Structure 1
Amino acid sequence: MSNAKHFVNPLRDPQDRRLPRIAGPCALVLFGVTGDLARKKLMPAIYDLANRGLLPPGFGLIGFARRDWENQDFAKIVHDSVKERARTPFREEVWKQLLEGIRFVPGTFDSDESFQTLKQTLDDLDQSQGTGGNHAFYLSIPPKAFDQVISQLKKHGLAKRDQRGAWSRVVIEKPFGHDLASANELERRVSSVFHSQSVFRIDHYLGKETVQNLLALRFANELFEPIWNRNYVDHVQITMAEDIGIGGRAGYYDGVGAARDVIQNHLLQLLALTAMEEPTSFDADQLRAEKRKALAAARPPKDIAAHTARGQYLGGWAGGKQVLGYLEEEGISPQSQTETYAAIRVDIDNRRWAGVPFYLRSAKRMPRRVTEIALNLRRAPHLPFSQTDTEALGSNALVLRIQPDEGITLRFGAKVPATLMEIRDVTMDFAYGTSFAESSPEAYERLILDVLLGDPPLFPQHEEVELSWKILDPILDFWADLDTQPEGYASGTWGPASGITMLARDGFVWRRP
């Protein structure tokens, strides 16, 4: 409890910044509690919030799944997940308090009886825990099940404000549709049940500390904002690389692919935050308005064939062990055309960014796990040195590392000691882990707390989802019309040759993170 004051959302109103915002009495219903996300991220995050004193004594946690469990069985699952993966130390007194509000509802999404039991369980928690009718429903389930669950919540009166003024909110995990048409249909169905202000679309990247620090870097420092435009920036690279394959996620991943799974949401959101104009405040509406403007000005490349690339990882050696290729993974068809590597160029048609290409790439089975935003600056217009003095000199770059080892790196040229005048690239590095005594909360801690508080700045609204699909759909349609396998690339490498070529056409190369 004593450290709670250090974990404050920098996007909130300055008057609230000195003190933590603690959620009021409420209950959180987790659909999909048997999945990896719930066990590895959501349950530990809930405990960490409780351990930091940010959840009220009157808090309830309900698991809903097709399991023949009692309350104590689910509590054991939560306990084991917390002990294994929680960020903060396990404290018995915190766990006992959390345990008082843990319940489990067995059932299926099509069962009216199960949802009646859920309603009764929430009513009981309102009485025993004092949750006051405030209920959040977290849909950690396949997208195809969204409609059924939302319809059941409406049917059983769980999706509306009651006479006490209590709230009901729904949390949806990506992907937000399969394309623009399906995203609009999902929005139609969700908005017919929940008010737009009660719909929280989770993009966990927006909860990461470094993503929010991007806004602080730009708008709190006179050093950077004057050069954050086409006059100084040559091109921008946004990369999310994973060193793993699809694991056991064939059922989800095949037919989705890297572009839909990551570029449509995570990377285009990072692009919007990088490219947007300064908001008048960090109020949710103002922040979203500027992101929407940036996405509305963004467009796919004019020559999609030349400025996009897709690939599939092949079997081989990665991370010191032999791994299967994508088409050899269990549950994947040998004819699958799903890409595990996707790279695209995006251009932004406005005064700030005209002529500056943004390159976005996401892939699995890369040499290492890394997510970063790299602003590569233009070279100096004149270098008063001989060519040999600067032959090892690249362009200046400002790099924001989102994960792992969150921080910021600035690359610039400096003279090599004991030489007449030889210049090489050097870096200045800022790392959160060494610069602050406070540890950074996990993204899901921040986002779950914001859901319970009804604090919306970090959650994209449907308009942003729609604009992102408008950028990506033409590329996906072009790839679908090719009706060919994506280009193979060896596991443990930085992708297919076409990914290198698409930048080479513009005279650039990918950074090696």
Structure 2
Amino acid sequence: LALRFGNALLEAVWHHRWIASVDIMVAETDGVDGREGYYANYGALRDMVQNHILQLLCLIAMEPPSALDADSVRNEKLKVLRALRPMTAERVNHDSVRGVYRAGVVGGKPVVGFKAPTAEAEDCETYVALVAHIDNWRWAGVPFRLRTGKRMADRCSEVVITFRETSHWIFEQPTREKSTPNRLVFRLQPEENIELTLMSSLAAPEWGALELQPLPLDLSMPINLRRRIAYERLLLDAFHGNPALFVRNDEVEAAWTWIDSVADAWKQAGTPLQPYMAGSWGPEAAVSIAPEGSIGGRRRGRSGGGA
């Protein structure tokens, strides 16, 4: 909230005219060991997307609240959840991927694949990739790509804002098609970090031979200014009677309404589970959800692929 609404530079471009896509990923290296019974009834969609990822989406997409009191913030988050386009059986196999991890190697150690406790639980997903759309003026036409999974290559929580290209490209190197778009990356785990990628000339060539390269600007928070971890902040807010970061009942209902539309669409369309190797970045089928250059595509390239 502070970065979004406290900086005119960001708020001025925080809409569909300047933003091309938003990627939100919460990846975990842990499996579901000891929680198979729970996952049999919920899966990654209900366990992670319904709360963690949708809350991040709300904070990125919400309109400026009239004040920072709890109800003002919650009211704007609720509007986002209610503006989420319901998933349909006609679109679900194009806009989502379900996955389940198989045996692999995580952190240099071999791990077993997901073992369903019952026959009914064999259709339980440990990985989800979704394309969400928010039907309002600010986010018209902007895909929100949501991804989460167990037994991934690394533990991380990131939000990547990819901006649109400049309207007029005057440089020969790289060509417009091969240029890297501006990106703003919010890394939440394992450590908080902000990175802004711009295009710049890192050398000083002769006039007429100007070549641009991506220039990542690290905006890391100084060590002595590190904030409390998330649960410490929530506990302190609870002690002080500040409910702003706690979810209200109507938010929960709106989130579940959208999640249920995804689950129902999966059932109607018979969306299958795609296997992926533990220690990868998810099923190969998810490339359609996380194309090259997006958060998933970039990480997939570093680790050598999916299942």
TM-score by length of 2: 0.88
More off after superposition, 282-291 vs 392-401: 392-401
Counterparts of 1:250 and 1:339, CA distance in 2: 11
Query: Could you report, residue by residue, the CA deviation over 1:387-423 in whole angstroms, capped at 9, with x for unpaired residues?
Result: 5466753111111111111021101111132543221
Q: Would you say the 8 A contact 1:370–1:403 is kept in 2?
A: yes
Q: Does 1:229 align with 2:28?
A: no
Q: Within 5 A, what are the aligned runs for 1:114-263?
A: 215-263=1-49
Q: Which amino acid aligns with 1:304?
A: V
Q: Within 5 A, what are the aligned runs for 1:265-304?
A: 265-301=51-87, 303-304=91-92
Q: Does 1:323 align with 2:119?
A: no
Which residue is 2:287 aligned to?
A: 500
Q: Would you say the 8 A contact 2:93–2:271 is kept in 1?
A: no
More off after superposition, 294-303 vs 274-283: 294-303
Q: 2:198 aligns with which of 412, 416, 421?
A: 412
**How much does 1:223 deviate?**
1.0
Higher relative contact order (CA 8 A, sep 6+): 2
Which residue is 1:456 aligned to?
A: 243
Between Structure 1 and Structure 2, whose CA radius of gyration is higher?
1
Which residue is 2:123 aligned to?
A: 337
Q: Which amino acid aligns with 1:385?
A: F
Q: 1:479 aligns with which of 253, 266, 274?
A: 266
Q: Does 1:423 align with 2:212?
A: yes
Q: Which amino acid aligns with 1:221?
A: N
**How much does 1:451 deviate?**
2.0
Q: Would you say the 8 A contact 1:392–1:425 is kept in 2?
A: no
Q: 1:490 aligns with which of 277, 290, 299?
A: 277
Q: Would you say the 8 A contact 2:160–2:295 is kept in 1?
A: no
Q: Would you say the 8 A contact 2:201–2:212 is kept in 1?
A: yes
Residues 264 and 311 of structure 1: CA distance in aligned 2, closer, same or farther (over 3 Å): same
Which residue is 1:199 aligned to?
A: none
**How much does 1:477 deviate?**
1.4
**How much does 1:460 deviate?**
0.6
Q: Would you say the 8 A contact 2:83–2:136 is kept in 1?
A: yes
Q: Which amino acid aligns with 1:490?
A: M
Q: Would you say the 8 A contact 1:234–1:376 is kept in 2?
A: yes
**How much does 1:315 deviate?**
0.7
Counterparts of 1:458 and 1:234, CA distance in 2: 28
5+ long unaligned stretches in structure 2: 300-307
Q: Would you say the 8 A contact 2:92–2:266 is kept in 1?
A: no
Q: Which amino acid aligns with 1:383?
A: W
Aligned length: 294
RMSD: 2.3
Q: Would you say the 8 A contact 1:326–1:332 is kept in 2?
A: no
Q: Would you say the 8 A contact 2:66–2:72 is kept in 1?
A: yes
Counterparts of 1:300 and 1:498, CA distance in 2: 22
Query: Could you report, residue by residue, the CA deviation over 1:237-285 in whole angstroms, capped at 9, with x for unpaired residues?
Result: 1110112211222222222111101101111111111111111110011
5+ long unaligned stretches in structure 1: 1-214
Q: Would you say the 8 A contact 1:396–1:412 is kept in 2?
A: yes
Query: Could you report, residue by residue, the CA deviation over 1:192-226 in whole angstroms, capped at 9, with x for unpaired residues?
Result: xxxxxxxxxxxxxxxxxxxxxxx111111111100
**How much does 1:232 deviate?**
0.2
TM-score by length of 1: 0.54
Q: Would you say the 8 A contact 2:174–2:212 is kept in 1?
A: no
Q: Does 1:396 align with 2:182?
A: yes
Q: Would you say the 8 A contact 1:389–1:423 is kept in 2?
A: no
Q: 1:356 aligns with which of 142, 145, 150?
A: 142
Residues 507 and 402 of structure 1: CA distance in aligned 2, closer, same or farther (over 3 Å): closer
Q: 1:465 aligns with which of 246, 252, 258?
A: 252
Counterparts of 1:322 and 1:257, CA distance in 2: 23
Q: Would you say the 8 A contact 2:4–2:11 is kept in 1?
A: yes
**How much does 1:450 deviate?**
2.1
